[in-house]
Structure 1
């Protein structure tokens, strides 16, 4: 009975479905792992997908020209699966060594956007060429095995295609919802590799190659042990930071000075907490989300103090993009009744409490705080809450999963959740934004809020170096914001922690604080009068422009704001 059921034909069909499942597990895991080096911009993600599909097409084409001449198809099916599995293991071992050639490529071409993208595609293609070509080559082999006669070729091919497609549905589900959350990215790749190797051994049982299995097993076991006991270094050189280095020696010196104290691969991102000479840093998929570095602490705190000092009596505050909790901790210094915080990654919530409580006033233990592990936009779509102050400081919009928190539609959604006298502060990553992107985002914000002002995070910057990049903040409201110097002065002096935080930034008076406001409403209108573009859900311009700025390293400066 079993022999009739598990014929070569039926076994090949089931194996092809499982092969499709492992292929999509690879696609999900490899995308995440490669993003640690190549970044997660819309261009990087599209390039990865193009390279993956190009390999499948090439493999299917090459094998299609030869498959009718092959005699022992089960053997070739097994060899292809074995090759994919071994490459999956080698991918984990060799990935850290991709950093050097990519750094060289970046140094050579980063000033030329389109040539760089084409070179990046070729780089991706070379990395994925071997496994994806073998994946593509399996389709003609299985089609040949499963096809019984020419009269039913359409029906037979439909079964083959359906089996592989079903596996391709299961693969991303298993990777995203089960494997990566439970065992991490590297072990997820190893699960896929193990599936390929087991399929190879099964197919060899139907071939003339079965007598050689006993010689293959020790080699296969060695590769599996190597793979399962190999772990990636927590810190990889990400494309975000390549432009800050002049040589590979400088890169190695910098990376060797970073001491990781926490590393976890989760369903949303790979989170690292690392100690450096400057302080403690939190990274998500290679991008710095928060740190105790002086420059970062300044903008993480000031984005809370701007609306909290200006609003006469905020009672309910929402912080979108909690990160390490520094902004939330600064909000907690005021006598508010309720603080809601949004953070999409539960791992970041955990490390915020475990590693950064000393710096965020242990804010997550404050009974006024409620943390929602959800996307910020989804939260606003599903809640009826209204707030006196909303502060949005998510990750950089260059990442494909973040740009929707910088669009006109998002700003309109925030506006619906503000009380009549409410204020909304939006962080703009000026240190990674060009003047063009900055102006588009200001214009987008201006199209939603009747009254806005633009602020910076450092009052010393203008005197010290007006050509340096700065963090900027947009403050929007329904009514013109009344500047009450006496209120600001009293709030600054109300608690020692507030006085200490602001004093550490050189802000010792209401006048010092107000010096951070670069533009009022009239100046903003003049600033954007010639800008006609908006960043919207339908046309997210910023998501496509921001990667170019990261390559050219031409970011907005104080002079761009003061001398417009």
Structure 2
């Protein structure tokens, strides 16, 4: 608040009339923009799936529109007398086009259905189509959002000597609004108002901003006189008007390096989001964790921009300052990895669990996430925020080109952000791993600092040699001390690490205990394994529906895990088709280490009945025409990543719509780690779609889950038929491993049904 008060007090001396009101409007606009991003990502997840590829595609389309809008409108607005009126129209356009997004999403459904109907779409093909259609849906609102900064910069930046301050204020205020929008939407807004309600809040804000700005634009004295047609002055070293290090070469270098810094920033964000979850004990890899990380990231950008805004116009050597900022980002980015590895896991300031560890205290848990995230990434993001006012100070050389230059700066940075986000998620992390990715990003920042320093002609040789020597020393220290071989999943003293890989979607590991039992972990969450409880989990998801239904011939199992459920399904000769949808290909790669569970069936001659589909199951069920007698959902934890999406009303409806008339859905439901109200909510949601559901508890072991059985009609079990199936040699052998090869023993696992629950 002190920084904001200082900025507002300073702006009164040079800001245009009604500048404070316009800043408030731009704050609200930033709030609405991040609300839209959160909501659209969630809505598009329901359409395209929840994989990192789909989310990255949404991000690329969103930011591509921002880049296009800033580039086009920045070039156009410099010749307009009333940029404030244009800004008002843009805000009203954002409100109207945002309202149309849900409608446009539904219009795109037939295209996806055609892709799935005509054959299994390849990953590359799906990604390309998703990118094109997402860009088409979001093109108008995101292009208009991208136009707001250069258009308002043209109206707000009226004194050349204070351009760094004026344009930095705009950027900082808008980013602070984005911080608020991200936090409110992610933590409170959707829960309180729903997606539609928050969407209407964003639309109302944009409409209000547009109407107020339109009213202001009609007031006298608020127009901007267009400058005469004259070329922008060419900077000359040592001139009175420009700092000594601003030359034609350094201007171009800062411009392009600002684009590279955008790529580095988003690559850092993706890498941090993959690594920070290992320091969280609660809400690991949930929407809350991602929102906390994004909020801290934006706070750092806004705070850094706000501080540098006060200093940018007084910098005697802004290019040198820009180079030192890049050096600082490189060093603090590398240091962030050490914080994440060694410090953040122990920064649990508040007690977030009850004494018996059965209840989570929400506010303390969220506070701990913010503390750990802030300790790791606030300093580098603060420096990232400082770069914008300095880049404006260097690159905006004439009031006649304010809109154009700001638009080009914003667009090149945004294009860089797109490249960085996609490169980190698709290429760098899968190919190099998280430690090497962070090291490469750190080297990039240091290299930009060195190159800029070498090309500043007026810098004193001692300063040049100091920066180059410091950079070289830092690189040497990083090469010697950086934890390149660090692994986020470290085995306990009684465990042995058998396999570890940082894939594009998750970090997967297989660990073995002292008695030879193996567990498959995804982001340090156990999902499958070879101990008796986990084997019961996997086998029951196959045998219960196969034995209870009269003659099932097709099944879909959601999640490969260790491959145990798939193996158990294949023991039934009557099953003609088995599909397995797995969102993370890296999980499947570890099947050779879990043959006790899967019996190595993937390494033998392929079973023609079996198809492994790498896709998000929501997307697959929504668009595939295939119907099944059985759909079995094997989920790890409702709080983990997007697993809660496999327990909501829409998902259960998708399952029901893809069942045959006599089909059945089986859903794995954990008994621990959920609040009582959340557990009951999940049961009520399942009941709403399957009113005749039944609950089974596998009592052969002290299991930690129940099975929700959702038939299309009331469940009727044929005891004789079930006994006959159990006599099939392969089925009997598989269940005998767990002493469950007896029909009475299986039926004793019945717990209750809707009649008892309703009573």
Aligned to 2:15: none
Question: SS of the counterpart of 1:263?
Answer: strand
Question: SS of the counterpart of 2:562?
Answer: coil
1:342 aligns with 2:581: yes
Structure 1 counterpart of 2:504, from 243, 246, 267:
267
Question: SS of the counterpart of 2:433?
Answer: helix
Shift of 1:228: 6.7
1:414 aligns with 2:655: yes
Query: TM-score scaled by structure 1?
Result: 0.83
1:515 aligns with 2:753: no
| Counterpart-to-counterpart distance in 2, 1:178 and 1:257 | 34
| Counterpart-to-counterpart distance in 2, 1:317 and 1:417 | 11
Aligned to 1:557: none
Aligned to 1:490: 724
Shift of 1:480: 2.0
Aligned to 1:185: 434
> Gapped runs of 5+ residues in structure 2?
1-235, 237-245
Shift of 1:507: 3.2
1:11 aligns with 2:253: yes
Once the two structures are superposed, residues 157-201 of structure 1 have per-residue CA deviations (whole angstroms, 9 ceiling, x without a partner) of: 333222222222221121122222222222222222121111111
Once the two structures are superposed, residues 405-440 of structure 1 have per-residue CA deviations (whole angstroms, 9 ceiling, x without a partner) of: 211111111112211221111111223333322221
CA distance 1:100–1:479, change in 2 (3 Å)? closer
Structure 1 window deviating more from structure 2 (89-98 vs 322-331): it is 89-98
- Contact 1:457–1:470 at 8 Å: present in 2 too? no
Shift of 1:45: 1.1
Once the two structures are superposed, residues 217-242 of structure 1 have per-residue CA deviations (whole angstroms, 9 ceiling, x without a partner) of: 53133144247761222425xxxxxx
Aligned to 2:316: 71
Aligned to 1:41: 286
Aligned to 1:540: none
Aligned to 1:230: 484
Shift of 1:104: 6.2
Shift of 1:508: 4.9
Query: TM-score scaled by structure 2?
Result: 0.62
Aligned to 1:544: none
Structure 1 window deviating more from structure 2 (503-512 vs 341-350): it is 503-512
CA distance 1:410–1:494, change in 2 (3 Å)? same
| Counterpart-to-counterpart distance in 2, 1:81 and 1:316 | 57
| Counterpart-to-counterpart distance in 2, 1:370 and 1:119 | 43
| Counterpart-to-counterpart distance in 2, 1:99 and 1:7 | 42
> Gapped runs of 5+ residues in structure 1?
237-253, 462-468, 527-564
- Contact 1:194–1:224 at 8 Å: present in 2 too? no
| Counterpart-to-counterpart distance in 2, 1:20 and 1:227 | 27
| Counterpart-to-counterpart distance in 1, 2:368 and 2:374 | 10
| Counterpart-to-counterpart distance in 1, 2:345 and 2:653 | 44
1:305 aligns with 2:547: no
Aligned to 1:499: 732
Once the two structures are superposed, residues 532-552 of structure 1 have per-residue CA deviations (whole angstroms, 9 ceiling, x without a partner) of: xxxxxxxxxxxxxxxxxxxxx
CA distance 1:460–1:165, change in 2 (3 Å)? closer
Question: SS of the counterpart of 1:385?
Answer: coil
| Counterpart-to-counterpart distance in 2, 1:234 and 1:130 | 22
1:438 aligns with 2:676: no
Aligned to 1:398: 639
CA distance 1:386–1:356, change in 2 (3 Å)? same
| Aligned residue pairs, count | 498
CA distance 1:312–1:385, change in 2 (3 Å)? same
Structure 1 window deviating more from structure 2 (129-138 vs 84-93): it is 84-93
Shift of 1:72: 1.5
Structure 1 counterpart of 2:366, from 108, 111, 117:
117
- Contact 2:453–2:468 at 8 Å: present in 1 too? no
Question: SS of the counterpart of 1:259?
Answer: strand
| Counterpart-to-counterpart distance in 2, 1:425 and 1:220 | 56
1:470 aligns with 2:707: no
- Contact 2:351–2:364 at 8 Å: present in 1 too? no
| Counterpart-to-counterpart distance in 2, 1:55 and 1:348 | 35
| Counterpart-to-counterpart distance in 1, 2:258 and 2:634 | 45
CA distance 1:402–1:313, change in 2 (3 Å)? same
- Contact 1:272–1:283 at 8 Å: present in 2 too? yes
| Counterpart-to-counterpart distance in 1, 2:641 and 2:522 | 14
| Counterpart-to-counterpart distance in 2, 1:327 and 1:404 | 21
| Counterpart-to-counterpart distance in 2, 1:453 and 1:111 | 28
Shift of 1:94: 4.0
1:29 aligns with 2:271: yes
CA distance 1:304–1:454, change in 2 (3 Å)? same
Aligned to 1:369: 610
- Contact 1:190–1:227 at 8 Å: present in 2 too? no
- Contact 1:89–1:227 at 8 Å: present in 2 too? no
Shift of 1:136: 0.7
Shift of 1:377: 1.4
| Counterpart-to-counterpart distance in 2, 1:118 and 1:217 | 36
Task: Please say which structure displays the higher CA radius of gyration.
Answer: 2
| Counterpart-to-counterpart distance in 1, 2:520 and 2:300 | 36
Question: SS of the counterpart of 2:504?
Answer: coil
1:194 aligns with 2:194: no
- Contact 1:234–1:263 at 8 Å: present in 2 too? no
Structure 2 counterpart of 1:357, from 595, 602, 607:
595
| Counterpart-to-counterpart distance in 2, 1:460 and 1:219 | 58
- Contact 1:16–1:160 at 8 Å: present in 2 too? yes
Aligned to 1:382: 623
